[in-house]
Amino acid sequence: MAKKKAEKSLDELLEEALAKEDEQPYEVPGNWAWVKIGSINHRKSGNVDPRKFPSDKFELYSVPSFADSFPEILEGRKIKSSKQAIKEGDILLCKINPRINRVWMVGNNTEHRTIGSSEWIVITPSNEINNEYLLWVLRSNYFRNQLTSNVSGVGGSLTRAKPTNVALYPIPIPPLPEQKRIVKKLSSMLDKLKETRELILEAEETFEERRAAILNKAFTGELTKKWREENPDVESAEKLIEILIDQKKKQGKKGEIPTYEEMIIEEDAQPYNLPGNWEFVRLGKVLQINPLKYKPEIVDDTLCSFVPMKAVSDKLGIIENIEKKPYVKIKNGYTSFKENDVLFAKITPCMENGKAAIAKNLINGFGYGSTEFFVFRCSTIVDNNFLYYLVRAKFFRDLAKPNMTGTVGQRRVPKDYLNNFKFPLPPLAEQKEIARILEKLLDHEDEAKALIDMAEEIDLLEKSILSKAFRGELGTNDPNDEPAIELLKRSLKEKMNK
């Protein structure tokens, strides 16, 4: 018969619960303590199989519903697997893809039973720990860095935090009165930041709505109606198409010379009416999409321009930071492009977010970048600035989105879709005029940049406030409060007696 495992004494449990000095990441006030999460978690595990209660309704705290800040309300028959039993006040820490800050407190929303996905680590704080304080600690930048430093899985959305590791992570615990004071002050300060963030979001939405309306007018001809009246003799789009066909004939590439009928969109397939001297054409017939890779005659250690996806701003539509890399490191496995080519992100979510830019200021006039870019090289009848504004337009991205192919998280716009996109082609002079007007009307780069900077400053300020809160630097700490080690002892006794 196996011997019963000896119960540990309070002193032994206390020693295990407290982080050793070399495990403490920074100094805290003297009446605080660095405590391992597992020691204050009074969670009693239990599962519920909702399928056994098909007509009952449940509050399901799923990972997807976190984004809505409210659990799903579902009948048991609609829930296909067992879930964790959870209760009001429990703290849920998402273990899947922990770089995303998902920490939730179970609320008292309905009379239905509350259950949680198996992707949550459930923490039931002891009576000596304020659950809102714990919620904020687990949302802090310090804890997030700790959580992401030791994960399992191959990367990205497949990584997971291990509950056994999380139980050993130390967090700063102040006396209970100080926990409550911190929560009160954080709520006040962060509510004000939230209000400011919402005002910035409203300003961004107004800016985007105005931009969308202007761009819609640009590509229907409404924006340049007066200009056309004043410039009736410009070369029509029909004439431009004939010029391009002649150019292709002179280049003499057999099999690559489209007919006029192959280039234009038949009248009954046109999405809307255009001015008389415009034409709907197939995009791939009037420019090159992903032209042949450029192979410069340079030595391997020559520095070249390199544009990763992160270098393109979806807000500003520019390349914010062109990197320099030796030719030998980027000549294979990357997309090549030339000065004035238009780069367009094909993969989700970059495409939907509007990542597109004109390649400018490239070393020696060429560069390399992510293979997730489509490269548009304009012909003599398409102005690259006009094209740039088109691919940056929300309606263009909205049309592309349902045509994307691939698995979730790896969906891409296919080249075939772009080749056959119904491109509204104005006369070349009008393209340039549209681009000029759009640049003038939409040249709110400073305004957009200011909004982005403000949002980033608020994020940094929030992180700074949280950092100060968990260092005892909010000005609320009272050295006369009972030391945190005493509440830890009571918490451990409570745990021993359960």
Q: Assess whether pLDDT exceeds 90 at residue 242.
A: yes
Residue range 267-278: mean pLDDT, rounded: 94
pLDDT at 120 over 90: yes
Q: What is the pLDDT of residues 438-468, one digit of tens each?
A: 998 877 655 666 776 788 888 888 888 988 9
Confidence of residue 1 (pLDDT cuts 50, 70, 90): very low
Could you read off the pLDDT of 92-119 as tens digits, one per residue?
Answer: 999 999 999 999 999 988 899 999 999 9
Mean pLDDT, the chain, whole residue set: 91
Query: Which residues pair with residue 103 across a beta bridge?
Result: 93
- pLDDT for 453 equals 75
Cβ–Cβ < 8 Å for 359, 377: no
CATH class for the domain made up of 33-174: alpha beta
3-state helix/strand/coil string of the chain? CCCCCCCCCHHHHHHHHECCHHHCCCCCCCCCEEEEHHHHECCCCCEECHHHCCCCEEEEECCHHHHHCCCEEEEHHHCCCCEEECCCCCEEEECECCCCCCEEECCCCCCCEEEECCCEEEECECCCCCHHHHHHHHHCHHHHHHHHCCEECCCHHHCEECHHHHCCCEEEECCHHHHHHHHHHHHHHHHHHHHHHHHHHHHHHHHHHHHHHHHHHHCCCCCCHHHHHHCCCCCCHHHHHHHHHHHHHHHCCCCCCCCHHHHECCHHHCCCCCCCCCEEEEHHHHEEECCCCCCCCCCCCCEEEEECHHHECCCCCCECCCEEEEHHHHCCCCEEEECCCEEEECECCHHHHCCEEECCCCHHHEEEECCCEEEEEECCCCCHHHHHHHHHCHHHHHHHHHHCECCCCCCECCHHHHHCCEEEECCHHHHHHHHHHHHHHHCCHHHHHHHHHHHHHHHHHHHHHHHHHCCCCCCCCCCCCCCHHHHHHHHHHHHHCC
Average pLDDT of the segment spanning 165-191: 94
Residue at 139: amino acid letter: R
List where CATH 3.90.220.20 sits in the chain: 33-174, 251-425
Distance CA 206, CA 328 (A): 46
Which residue did the predictor score with more confidence, 315 or 163?
A: 163
pLDDT band at 316 (very low <50, low <70, confident <90, very high): confident
Q: What is the pTM of this model?
A: 0.60
CA separation for the pair 359, 342 (Å, rounded)? 6
Q: Mean pLDDT, to the nearest integer, of 380-391?
A: 97
- Asked whether residue 377 carries a pLDDT value surpassing 60, the answer given is yes
- Note the pLDDT of residue 440: 85
Are 113 and 58 in contact, with CB atoms under 8 Å apart? yes
What is the average pLDDT across 126-150?
A: 92
pLDDT score of 170: 95
What is the chain's Cα-based Rg? Answer: 30
Asked whether the predicted pLDDT for residue 6 surpasses 70, the reply is no
Q: What's the pLDDT band for 200 if we cut at 50, 70, 90?
A: confident
331-338 average pLDDT score: 95
Quickly count: other Cβ atoms within 10 Å of residue 167's Cβ. 14
Give mean pLDDT, residues 277-281. Answer: 96
120-123 β-sheet, strand order: 103-105, 91-94, 120-123
- Kindly tell me if the per-residue pLDDT of 407 is higher than 90: no
Closest CA to 368 of 336, 333, 329, 332: 336
Band of pLDDT at residue 155, cut at 50, 70 and 90: low
- pLDDT at position 199: 82
Over residues 244-249, mean pLDDT: 90
User: Among the listed ranges 277-291, 368-382, 464-478, which one has the minimum average pLDDT value?
Assistant: 464-478
Query: Mean pLDDT across the stretch 240-268?
Result: 86
The architecture (CATH level 2) of 251-425 comes to Alpha-Beta Complex (3.90)
pLDDT, residue 78, reads 94
Confidence of residue 252 (pLDDT cuts 50, 70, 90): confident
Residues 159, 408: Cα–Cα separation, whole Å: 16
Average pLDDT over residues 298-326: 94
